[in-house]
Amino acid sequence: MVPAWLIRLENPIPIPALRSVNTYVIAGGGCAAVVDPGMGEASARRVEGELRARGLELELVVATHFHVDHSTAAAWLNARLAMGRRDWERVTLMVDTWPEAAERMSELFEAHGMPREEASQVASRHPALSRVAWFERLVDAHRRDVLLLDDGSALDACGRRLAVIHVPGHTPGHVALAAGGLVLVGDLVLEGITPNVPALEWPSDPLADYLSSLRRLLELRPGLLLPGHRGPVTRPAERIRQLIAHHERRLREAESIVRELGEATA
């Protein structure tokens, strides 16, 4: 089902709700390109060990999106990094404007109804913001030579050509990588859990972006989705339609609550 040139590594991460991230290795002729290397130095060392055991030389690291559990191992890997343009811009903005970036996030949460006490702890308790040093290291390591991925471009990795699809919603610069009927989808589509769709700035409409991304993926009629967590999605159309229906139902619920109360926060 998964082609021979693609290896899936279940990479443990210290986020109990997720347990592991799927790291994909595109391999060919002794060369390896790693998609979503994982979280921090521990993941990087694990990936290096797996490549060494298979006699593969790391050539390229790709992050489907900037989230801490997918991208930050790249800070400890010695190869060029490729990432969606808007996600790279977000990460560099966060690093370059720290700690104001954390304050902006706290203010956003508070403006949308989070109690001040909790909103003020965002920088110290959020799984990504509390690890800002990892993102600093990521930006330092790759700023000079990062490969920014745009929609419609092609990514060449160890003799394979993958089509880059910009699929915003889970993050603003999330990308999916397609080869034949197979799509590496990151956290765009997961089996058994619904990917979160966070508002990272205001005004913005990440849910509208997310639903368009799902519809676009559906139009591609993929045969197999390889996601960032849990197992492969073997019936893509069915799972994508479930996610669209789920969000449409929740949106109607939220609308009726707002209508009833006249005014409501998140």
Chain contacts with Zn ion (rule: CB under 5 A):
67, 187
State in angstroms the smallest separation of the CB of 212 from Zn ion.
Answer: 18
Return the number of the residue (9 or 69) whose C-beta is nearest Zn ion. 69
155 or 188, CB closer to Zn ion?
A: 188
- DSSP track, the chain: ---TTEEEEEEE-S-TTT-EEEEEEEEETTEEEEE---SHHHHHHHHHHHHHHTT-EEEEEEESS--HHHHGGGGG--SEEEEEHHHHHHHHHHHHTTTHHHHHHHHHHHHTT--HHHHTTHHHHSTTGGGHHHHHHHHHHHTTT-EEE-TT-EEEETTEEEEEEE--SSSTT-EEEEETTEEEEETSS-SSSPPP----SSS--HHHHHHHHHHHHHHT--SEEEESSSS-BSSHHHHHHHHHHHHHHHHHHHHHHHHHHSS---
Query: CB of residue 213 vs Zn ion: minimum separation in angstroms?
Result: 13
Q: Which residue is nearest to Zn ion (CB)?
A: 67
Bridge partners of residue 163, in order along the sequence? 154, 178
> 67 or 85: whose CB is closer to Zn ion?
67
* Nearest residue (CB) to Zn ion, 51 versus 185: 185
Return the number of the residue (22 or 106) whose C-beta is nearest Zn ion.
22
- Please name the residue that has the structure tokens 């019936």: 235
Q: Cβ closer to Zn ion: 67 or 166? A: 67
Q: Nearest approach, Cβ of 170 to Zn ion (angstroms)?
A: 6
Q: How far is the CB of 178 from Zn ion (least distance, A)?
A: 19
Minimum Å gap between C-beta 30 and Zn ion is 31
User: Least distance to Zn ion from the beta carbon of 216, Å?
Assistant: 18
Nearer to Zn ion, 21 or 51 (CB): 21
CB of 116 to Zn ion, least distance (A): 27
198 cis-preceded (ω within 30 degrees of 0): no
